[in-house]
A and B are shown apart, each in its own frame.
Chain A
Amino acid sequence: MSKKDVESALARGVEILNEFLPVQTTLYFPILYSACVWAVRRVFDYRERILSWQVWLDPEAVLTKPDEFILHFFATHGALSRAYADEIAGRDLRALRVVFPALYPVCGLEDAFLKALFKKELDAGDYRRIAAEFAARAAKARDDIRPAAADARFWAALENLGAELAALGIHLLSDEDVEKAVIKAVKKKTAKGAKS
């Protein structure tokens, strides 16, 4: 297996996504990255997995919490307690309540779709960016995937890509390398899209 082969497969993957999804979508990364993770685990029911992502965005749990719960959530989450140290120390509930609806589904409920959507920010510990962009990006992702989801060719192409990645031995690469390769492929395409 060569890293180059995986990179070219991922580049083709971006081209495939480009046929079905809007160019400036934020979905390339979560879809491609998930496809890689699933290829490693050799599961190929992409259609069911991706379609069920959307369900997580619907209200179902009671998300209006008392002040004490919100403070506890921020104070007991390692990374969040550092990112919002001032607000926690000052019991600034007004500020924490504003960002809670975005950060609780991602960091508290560990929603699979949202974690994939904000993976870069999570890895960088940029929680304030997640809070600022949450509503717009989640809504856009949901809208962007809808037309592609209705096209059987999209799912077939994605499954072929997963099978190809598995055959290339993607499981032999480290998670970090896979992530880097996906980011590289997506960046290349979106830069091209922005130019043209």
Chain B
Amino acid sequence: MRTRTRTRGLRGLGLLAVSALALVLCSSCLTHLRNAKASYAEAGELAQRYQTEQAIAAYKRALAEAELEARKNPSAQAFMLKGLAEVNLGLWRDAETSFVKAAGLGFGEGEAWASDVSLLGLAISFEELGFEEPSLRAYGQLMGKSEFKPVLLAAAQRYADLTLARAVGLEDREKGPALAGLAKVIEKLESADFACGFYHYFHSQVESHRGDFRRSYEEAVMARELGLPSVKVLRDNDNQIVFCYDKVAGALGAAEREAFAAAHGAWAKRWGWPDARTPDWKRE
């Protein structure tokens, strides 16, 4: 009797253990997905505050959790999150695979994202191998059609840098039209998404190549106000502001210079700069 009770008790305990184990496994699956989402959201917030290093670390955590989730419990959501974390870490090939898998599991936009990411990866490879023409064509294609913003921004940055690098070596009569063409492309991107600070940053860079330092200054200020994707770009944009400020102020008469300096001083104060020519991060 006692033995039967003990056996029943043990069986009960066994069932309890199995249920507990299932619960733990299930909650660990849920935890991975939840952790991946939380880390991804945290990374976005950190990036917005220009804490780039911590943002990268959070994207890496999101990727690790999404990988665990995708392995244990493959779903469109898990692969989509994995792909997004990979995109933010510049792992284009891995992201393409993840989006293809997400599409296979029912994520509607997965196929288009995978195709955009694949084309971007190919264009970068072309550029690294020195095939500038095909890479420019591919970046241009993505800028015209991609609706996936991380790809669009990466393509625009590479397109602008590559076009500027080519323009630097040109004679003045060829350089002018090349830079005007690039400015037009950037303006088109801006008009589609005027609140994107990164586009104004590109525009500022192009205008300084064209020698229009006032316009370049205005675009750089707008870029800073609207927000930039990383601290590295923010710092480069700050250097651009200081450079343009010096160029513009140097070319003005005394009265105009005073008014310009006062306006710039107000911006500098708003950004917490110790003076008109020293960005806050240079104090560190």
Indicate, yes or no, whether A interacts with B: yes
A residues near B (Cβ < 8 Å) are 45, 47-49, 51-53, 55-56, 58-66, 68-69, 72-73, 76, 108-112
Please tell me if B256 contacts chain A, counting CB pairs below 8 Å.
no
**Which A-B residue pairs are the 10 nearest by beta carbons?**
A48-B57, A52-B53, A64-B164, A61-B236, A52-B56, A64-B165, A62-B205, A66-B209, A109-B235, A61-B233
**Does B168 lie within 8 Å of A69, measured CB to CB?**
no
Please tell me if B28 contacts chain A, counting CB pairs below 8 Å.
no
Instruction: Tell me the smallest distance from the CB of B236 to a CB of chain A, in Å.
Output: 4
**Does B56 lie within 8 Å of A110, measured CB to CB?**
no
Residues of chain A within 8 A of B246, CB atoms compared: 72, 76
Contact with A along B51-74 (1 / 0, CB 8 A): 011101100100000000000000
**Does B52 lie within 8 Å of A62, measured CB to CB?**
no
B residues near A (Cβ < 8 Å) are 52-54, 56-57, 60, 90, 157-158, 160-161, 164-165, 168, 201-202, 205, 208-209, 211, 229-230, 232-233, 235-236, 239-240, 242-243, 246-247, 281-282, 284
What 20 additional pairs, Cβ within 8 angstroms, besides A63-B161, A109-B239?
A47-B57, A48-B53, A48-B54, A52-B54, A53-B53, A55-B53, A55-B56, A60-B157, A60-B229, A60-B233, A61-B236, A62-B157, A62-B160, A62-B205, A64-B164, A66-B209, A66-B211, A68-B243, A69-B243, A110-B282
Q: Which of B90, B165, B247 contacts A58 (CB 8 A)?
A: B90
**Does B168 lie within 8 Å of A64, measured CB to CB?**
yes
Residues of chain A within 8 A of B53, CB atoms compared: 48-49, 52-53, 55, 112
Instruction: Tell me the smallest distance from the CB of A111 to a CB of chain B, in Å.
Output: 8
**Does A66 lie within 8 Å of B239, measured CB to CB?**
no
Query: Whole-angstrom distance between the alpha carbons of A65 and B56 in the complex?
Result: 27
Query: Whole-angstrom distance between the alpha carbons of A49 and B158 in the complex?
Result: 27
Q: Which of B205, B235, B247 contacts A68 (CB 8 A)?
A: B247
Chain B CB within 10 Å — which of A61, A63, A73, A76 has the most? A61
**Does A62 lie within 8 Å of B232, measured CB to CB?**
no
**Does A51 lie within 8 Å of B60, measured CB to CB?**
yes
**Does A51 lie within 8 Å of B236, measured CB to CB?**
no
**Does B281 lie within 8 Å of A110, measured CB to CB?**
yes
